[in-house]
Chain A
Amino acid sequence: MDIIFKNVTHIYQPRSPFEHIALKDISLFIPSGSFVAVIGHTGSGKSTLISHLNGLSLPTEGEIRIGEFTLTKDKKPENLMELRSRVGVVFQYPEHQLFEESVRKDIAFGPKNFGVSEEEIESRIREVLPAVGLSESLLARSPFDLSGGQMRRVAIAGVLATKPEVIVLDEPTAGLDPRGQKEIMEMFYHLHHSENLTTVLVTHSMEDALKYADYVIILNKGKKYMEGKPEDIFIQKEALHQVGLDVPEIVEFIASFEEKFQTKIPFHNQSISQLAQHIAEQLRGVG
């Protein structure tokens, strides 16, 4: 489903001393099937932005279109449930939303609310468990007995079990160890391709954005600050520094390498081994 924002503004508690403009005149286009990273400092409006994607928030001004659904100031789509079943949201620390007595029931909770039949739910559970890397032996356990990482996987499985077309990830790796972070991100990347999802990733990690996203949107103080392909965005070191963001390590490395050896290495989102090969060839050529 294509996602279109047209001049969207969102204001919390308007006309009170606590009025807060969270989003200001945001327009953007996320084509179906793309992997978009939304980056910004704390308080830049990222979380507000994504809460519009499944109708949890409505714009104070402007219009949002998600597939055939339209959201405006005073118009919730009548089939809000349908929208929510098609846009899955993995919130920050999703393990906080677990509540059922068993892992099986918790994963089944979403699909059940959306009216999926028992047999279908059962087959979906068998499908999503290996996808998130959990074994079926956990199904009968209480989710509160699991480790933090496992709890998060259960929560993610619960969202995946609703079979969304768009998946929204709000810092899905926060609070995990480096290995867990990598596993979770690889998993979403894999799902993005195998399930043909549209993925919106909110992250602080430039590395993840560079590695997985094919489009990057940078927010600052509720406004769209930059947008474009990761390889075009991340070379603009100065502009990024201005809003308190860093460039990915590899870009940083290329910059200092270029400065030290007075050469030029074009950055086109190459992997570390490609870069190493390139440097080796160049050195050989020079020597």
Chain B
Amino acid sequence: MNNLMIIGQYVPGDSVIHRLDPRTKITVIFFFVVIVFFANNLWSYSTLIIFALLSMFSSKVPIRFILKGLTPVWFLIIFTFLLHLFITKEGTKVVDFWIFEFYSGGILQGIAISIRFFLLILVTSLLTLTTTPIEITDAVEEMLAPLKKVKFPVHELALMMSISLRFIPTLMQETEKISRAQASRGVDYRTGPLKERIKAIVPLLVPLFVSAFKRAEELAMAMEARGYRGGEGRSKLRELRIEKIDIGIYIFFIIVAAIVFATRSYG
């Protein structure tokens, strides 16, 4: 399987971060993402970086693994840095090299934006690294519950979400299996002209669709056989509960936010 597909892959564990209520995680991360855009000087950035690194270390997910998962994003981070370096012409001129002129403002901007990017991706991937997809959908369902009042199909949405999340690994396995079978029959996915390679996808897609539809039908039948009829009055196996630790995290986060707002420069 693809080793780069790590963003979003759940790593089982029993750390503080794993045990947090998923709603807490989602809320905190949401506001973290907002606050990242308010940081604008050394102190506010340092506060956020410390917060992010603290969460990363307390999640106990191997750091090598997290960094490896960020590989596809490094390119983006470096690209934005370079973009700012070359384009922003603020502050004093620092380097004058051949046709390039680097300004202090550009370098600082570049660093700041890259840090923003890095923080955003690090924290959001921590969510999926430490939370099972089922927990996330449960949390989404709970958090959207008020919308039921305006006839928004919250439960159905959550169900759709969890079914599709549930079947991603299955479909990936299936893809792997069928592509191996077709490769054994002489399909070449890797070399040859582009037209041939696009044609090679047909023997993969057709069986995949056939089995996906079959599976959907079987799932629907199994659900009906067990009397499933939607969210009304349905109880849950795992009740989400806000514990002391969640409240602790909220308070901690509010302090972090307060520090960011207190230290950022205004004007």
- Are A96 and B11 interface neighbours, CB within 8 A? no
Q: Which of B32-40, B159-167, B183-191 makes up part of the contact surface?
A: B183-191
Please report the C-alpha to C-alpha distance between residue A56 and residue B210 in the assembled complex, in whole angstroms: 24
Closest residue on chain A to residue B180 by CB atoms: A56
Q: Is B154 an interface residue (CB 8 A)?
A: no
Closest chain-A Cβ to B174's Cβ sits at a distance in Å of 8
Q: Is A189 an interface residue (CB 8 A)?
A: no
Q: Is A65 an interface residue (CB 8 A)?
A: no
- Are A99 and B202 interface neighbours, CB within 8 A? yes
Instruction: List 20 A-B pairs, Cβ < 8 Å.
Output: A13-B1, A16-B3, A16-B6, A16-B65, A17-B11, A51-B180, A56-B184, A81-B186, A84-B184, A84-B185, A91-B177, A96-B174, A96-B207, A99-B202, A99-B203, A110-B185, A110-B186, A113-B188, A159-B184, A159-B185
Contacts of A99 in B (CB 8 A): 202-203, 206-207, 210
Question: Which one, B64, B68, B186, contacts A113 given CB within 8 A?
Answer: B186
Q: Is B76 an interface residue (CB 8 A)?
A: no
Residues of chain B having any CB pair with chain A under 8 Å: 1, 3, 6, 11, 61-62, 64-65, 68, 174, 177-178, 180-188, 202-203, 206-207, 210-211
- Are B211 and A96 interface neighbours, CB within 8 A? yes
Please report the C-alpha to C-alpha distance between residue A94 and residue B178 in the assembled complex, in whole angstroms: 9
- Are B186 and A96 interface neighbours, CB within 8 A? no
Closest chain-B Cβ to A123's Cβ sits at a distance in Å of 19
Closest chain-A Cβ to B163's Cβ sits at a distance in Å of 21
Contacts of B1 in A (CB 8 A): 12-13
Contacts of B62 in A (CB 8 A): 17
- Are B186 and A97 interface neighbours, CB within 8 A? no
Closest chain-B Cβ to A225's Cβ sits at a distance in Å of 26
Please report the C-alpha to C-alpha distance between residue A113 and residue B181 in the assembled complex, in whole angstroms: 13
Q: Is A85 an interface residue (CB 8 A)?
A: yes
- Are A109 and B203 interface neighbours, CB within 8 A? yes
Contacts of A109 in B (CB 8 A): 185, 203
Please report the C-alpha to C-alpha distance between residue A106 and residue B266 in the assembled complex, in whole angstroms: 70
Contacts of B203 in A (CB 8 A): 97, 99, 109
Contacts of B211 in A (CB 8 A): 96
Q: Is A49 an interface residue (CB 8 A)?
A: no
Would you give the 0/1 interface string for A184-206, flagging 1 where the beta carbon is closer than 8 Å to chain B?
A: 00000000000000000000000
Residues of chain A having any CB pair with chain B under 8 Å: 12-13, 15-17, 51, 54, 56, 81, 84-85, 88-89, 91, 94, 96-99, 109-110, 112-114, 144, 158-159, 162
- Are A91 and B186 interface neighbours, CB within 8 A? no
Closest chain-A Cβ to B259's Cβ sits at a distance in Å of 33
A17-B62, A17-B65 known; A97+B182 contact, CB < 8 A: yes
Question: Which one, A81, A88, A159, A162, contacts B188 given CB within 8 A?
Answer: A81
Contacts of B184 in A (CB 8 A): 54, 56, 84, 88-89, 91, 159
A16-B3, A17-B62, A110-B186 known; A97+B181 contact, CB < 8 A: yes
Closest chain-A Cβ to B175's Cβ sits at a distance in Å of 11
Contacts of B206 in A (CB 8 A): 99
- Are B180 and A94 interface neighbours, CB within 8 A? no
Question: Which one, A89, A97, A110, A158, contacts B207 given CB within 8 A?
Answer: A97
- Are B202 and A114 interface neighbours, CB within 8 A? no
Please report the C-alpha to C-alpha distance between residue A98 and residue B185 in the assembled complex, in whole angstroms: 11
Closest chain-B Cβ to A287's Cβ sits at a distance in Å of 58
Contacts of A97 in B (CB 8 A): 178, 181-182, 185, 203, 207
Closest chain-B Cβ to A88's Cβ sits at a distance in Å of 7
Closest residue on chain B to residue A98 by CB atoms: B207
Question: Which one, A56, A94, A162, contacts B183 given CB within 8 A?
Answer: A56
- Are A91 and B181 interface neighbours, CB within 8 A? yes
